Amino acid sequence: AQSVAQPEDQVNVAEGNPLTVKCTYSVSGNPYLFWYVQYPNRGLQFLLKYITGDNLVKGSYGFEAEFNKSQTSFHLKKPSALVSDSALYFCAVRPLSGGYNKLIFGAGTRLAVHP
């Protein structure tokens, strides 16, 4: 089955420190991978995507993600965390078969940035 896994329910980081939110995928072939963020009582917002090309993808709000094919990972990173980054983060994959126009989301990781 094509899926993404987010192994951490929650990540705690001190403000100013680098942050990493992990995502691994299970897709045969070349995956299309995405990160979305959800603030409290809001819908999800797009952060960035990997389709092809450079393995390091830059997105909104200073976030970036690194595609690693050998480790089947697509971790979200930011060099210096802000308290305002505290939110729920979702990794997602677009299936390569059985529905090109849908996204399958991971369970989500709650990021808590402490002052």
Q: Which residues bind another protein (CB under 8 A)?
A: 32, 36, 41-46, 49, 51, 90, 94, 99-108
Nearer of residues 102 and 114 to another protein, judged by Cβ: 102
In angstroms, give the least distance from the CB of 67 to another protein.
Answer: 14
In angstroms, give the least distance from the CB of 38 to another protein.
Answer: 8
Q: Are 11 and 19 in contact (CB under 8 A)?
A: yes
Query: Which residue has tokens 């299936």?
Result: 95
Q: Tokens representing 23?
A: 């995502």
Nearer of residues 49 and 75 to another protein, judged by Cβ: 49
Nearer of residues 42 and 114 to another protein, judged by Cβ: 42
Nearer of residues 38 and 86 to another protein, judged by Cβ: 38
Q: Output the CA angle 32-109-16, nearest 5 degrees.
A: 105
In angstroms, give the least distance from the CB of 41 to another protein.
Answer: 7
In the DSSP assignment, the letter for residue 69 is T
Q: Tokens representing 106?
A: 């991971």
In angstroms, give the least distance from the CB of 8 to another protein.
Answer: 14
